[in-house]
A = this chain, B = another copy of it.
């Protein structure tokens, strides 16, 4: 993936004249993006991330950028979109919608400790609470409707046993509704590569482009499936308890949420299994160079299934 749309220093220097962030010193393409083109931009003021949106349209962008402004106003450490002189949070660069956000220092955690999981839990609860008054709405683009649309195109491509397992899980999930659970703004992609640490403290949360309004417990399940899973794909009890306790201390979980928890862990695993299957079997025009292994989430799902009864026992 990496850089789809090239930006030269000359083009960027002209574009930056409509901002108040000093003179351009350097720009470097960032290879890790999957959805967008990202550059690290250094000006005489500081470092920024320039994002050219390859898929998101100008009509969706305000939600994500306003959310990041809102979160930083409420003291959630996230990249802050920089407004231009006309107070717009994004503009047009080389025919793509483009925004500048502050660059956050910090590094990713590979093997999280319970203490680090607790900090993620705190952060998630603070995010969930602080956005209670965020007025704008965005539906979940990777919710049940998407699942039901995408799965039928995938099933014919899968090995027989795998197709059967996927269909069975889809049937199981279609029996469950989460609408009664507490809802709000969720990050929906809070994997280890989207959280930056400075020692044990979180210095930043990034990549809000899957954020939406949905069930809060779903966000916690997404986090659990990445931060609290051992190499054998089973739940890491210490990490999960640290996560849940820290979260619960700030946003108390309710009995109804416990009831749905084992199902929700499967829902979250299924979502990423399907999107990875999709990227693997139906790559969009050579866009994904390194599709991630879908089996990782199939295995997590299988383990959740096997441990279904015990999943309720690891709780606050």
Give Cα A93–Cα B21 distance, bound, in whole angstroms. 36
A73 at the interface (CB under 8 A from B): yes
**Would A85 and B45 count as touching, CB distance under 8 A?**
no
Pick from B46, B69, B74, B81: contact of A82, CB under 8 Å: B74
Query: CB of A149 within 8 A of chain B?
Result: no
Which of the residues B72, B75, B85, B134 comes within 8 Å of A21, measured between beta carbons? B75
Q: A45-B75, A69-B73, A87-B133 are known contacts. Are A20 and B82 too (CB-CB below 8 A)?
A: no
Residue A76 lies at the interface, judged by CB distance under 8 Å to chain B: yes
> Given that A20-B130, A130-B20 are known contacts, is A83 also in contact with B74, CB under 8 Å in the complex?
yes
A126 (CB) vs chain B CBs: closest residue? B20
Residues of B within 8 A of A134 (CB): 87
Give the dominant DSSP class at A's interface: loop
Contact in complex: B21, A86 (CB < 8 Å) = no
A1-49 residues at the B interface, CB under 8 angstroms: 19-22, 45-46
Residue of B nearest to A249 (CB): B23
Shortest CB distance A24–B (Å): 14
Q: Does A132 contact B (CB under 8 A)?
A: yes
Task: Find the residue from A22, A75, A86, A133 having the highest chain B CB count within 10 A.
Answer: A75
A75–B46 CB distance below 8 A: yes
Most chain B CB inside 10 Å of its own CB: which residue of A46, A83, A132: A83
Interface footprint category on A: 20 to 34
Q: Is the CB of B75 within 8 A of A20?
A: yes
Known: A126-B20, A129-B20, A130-B20. A80 touches B73 (CB 8 A): yes
Residues of B within 8 A of A132 (CB): 85
* Per-residue contact bits, chain A 83-117, to B (CB 8 Å; 1 contact, 0 not): 10111000000000000001000000000000000
| B contact residues around A22 at 8 Å (CB) | 126
Other-chain residue from B20, B72, B133 in contact with A85 (beta carbon distance below 8 A):
B133
Residue-by-residue, is A129-167 near B (CB-CB < 8 Å gives 1, otherwise 0)?
110111000000000000000000000000000000000
Take A20-B126, A126-B20, A130-B20 as given contacts and tell me if A82 and B75 are in contact as well, using a CB distance cutoff of 8 Å.
yes
12 new A-B pairs (CB below 8 Å) besides A19-B74, A20-B74, A86-B133?
Answer: A19-B75, A20-B76, A20-B126, A21-B75, A72-B80, A73-B80, A73-B83, A73-B87, A74-B83, A75-B82, A85-B132, A87-B134
Closest 6 A-B residue pairs measured CB to CB?
A20-B130, A73-B83, A87-B133, A21-B75, A20-B74, A20-B126
